[in-house]
Amino acid sequence: MKFKHSTIYLTLFLLLSPLLSTAQVPSAPSLTAKGYLLIDYNSGQILAEKASTERMEPASITKLMTAYVAFNAIKSGQINLTDEVLVSEKAWRTQGSRMFIEVDKRVPVELLLQGMIIQSGNDASVAIAEHVAGTEATFAELMNQAAQQLGMLDTQYRNSTGLPDPDNYTTAADIAKLANAIIRDFPEYYAWYSQKQFTYNGITQDNRNALLWRDASVDGLKTGYTEAAGYCLVSSAQRENMRLISVVLGASSSSARANDSQALLNYGFRFFESRLLYSAGQTVAEERVWYGDPEIVPLVTRDDLFISIPRGSFERLDATSSVPTSLEAPLDRDGMVGNLSITLDGQQIATVGLYPTANVKEAGIFGRLADWIMLLWN
């Protein structure tokens, strides 16, 4: 990896990274699903896609958002895992896949969440929704608010289960954002998505995600099916330091959704690698600040900078920092003063803002005068 700014530091892991042979990346697998998406979890970069922004019915993939809203309610203290939820007749009568809870019985939130995540229980979904928000309709409003906050702008929910409704829709791209948020924000609950079986009321049911049995690197997330939506599967897998998320919508059968998802994951892991270029707060460059105290300020990125690149292409990366030629005080540490651009073979693949590590105040009168004379001379 080459750097085009004299003040950018060459960090240790870059100096020690092995020389990788160049490799060509073939086209992504040709799949029959209506839509799909493969992204790198860390960088968010798209590795393969088809109709990923086209609105489609979500089926039980909806329950990812039901869980996300419930997890947020637990985090904020609105509900607890130990809460005993009184099962309503509506929840008990909900059709489709079930956890087999019984009307007027009390079930802990923790068991309802597992019944929804592992067994895809529609009855459990409705019970959770009613416990969090009073009614399922009110809970759907919370789901839509969360979708907006996550940037899922092509998604709308009308229920907590994913049962058919003409106003229930989402996209593969939005689902990937949601899966990313669950993994990132709630690691303490994410392990439930890898659980292969769950037993409640003497009834044991298998997780419908066939990849959990097929691929040891897969640890989530959710299946879905209705006649209108087809067979759907959101999967995530981690191999070494790379995590991928695949979304397959509208496959023709349960085996087709598993095969399509496996093909996408294998493609991503085989031909791409994920690299951490800079950690959040790590010095990227040092810049002279005219009329400032101090005169020199380190510049950093706010967040970890990950990139996804074809395997064997690391040495063909360039990093270029761009800041004004005359950076002048005062500077606010919360104000972006430049950017860092990463290119591969001359094509930009990532750019992030650069920020000073601290506020830079104006220097005293003599310091400012000295800088004025220097700038005038230059």
Per-residue pLDDT, averaged over 335-353, amounts to: 90
At residue 146, the pLDDT reads 98
- Domain 35-270 classified CATH 3.40.50.410? no
Retrieve residue 10's tokens.
């060459």
Assign domain 279-377 to its CATH architecture: Sandwich (2.60)
Query: Is 69 buried (19+), middle (13-18) or exposed (0-12) by CB count in 10 A?
Result: buried
Q: Does the structure show a pLDDT above 90 at 358? A: no
Q: Within the chain, where are the H helices?
A: 12-16, 63-75, 89-93, 109-119, 122-133, 136-149, 172-185, 187-190, 211-214, 254-271, 365-377
At residue 12, the pLDDT reads 29
Compute how many other C-beta atoms are within 10 angstroms of the C-beta atom of residue 376: 7
Conformational region of residue 265, where left means phi above 0, alpha means psi within -120 to 50, and beta covers everything else? alpha
Q: 127-136, 318-327, 366-375: which range is least confident on average?
A: 366-375
CATH 3.40.710.10 domain locations along the chain:
35-270
Q: Does the structure show a pLDDT above 60 at 5? A: no
Whether 139 and 130 have beta carbons less than 8 Å apart is answered as: yes
Give 355-367 as a 3 state SS string: EECCCEEECCHHH
Compute how many other C-beta atoms are within 10 angstroms of the C-beta atom of residue 341: 16
Q: Over the stretch 13-39, which tens digit does the pLDDT of each residue have? A: 332 232 233 357 899 998 999 999 999
CATH 2.60.410.10 domain locations along the chain:
279-377
At residue 21, the pLDDT reads 35
Q: Does the structure show a pLDDT above 90 at 184? A: yes
- The residues assigned a catalytic role are 60, 63, 120
Q: Over the stretch 218-255, which tens digit does the pLDDT of each residue have? A: 999 999 999 999 999 999 999 999 999 999 999 999 99
Of the pLDDT bands very low, low, confident and very high (cuts 50, 70, 90), residue 6 is very low
Q: Does the structure show a pLDDT above 50 at 284? A: yes
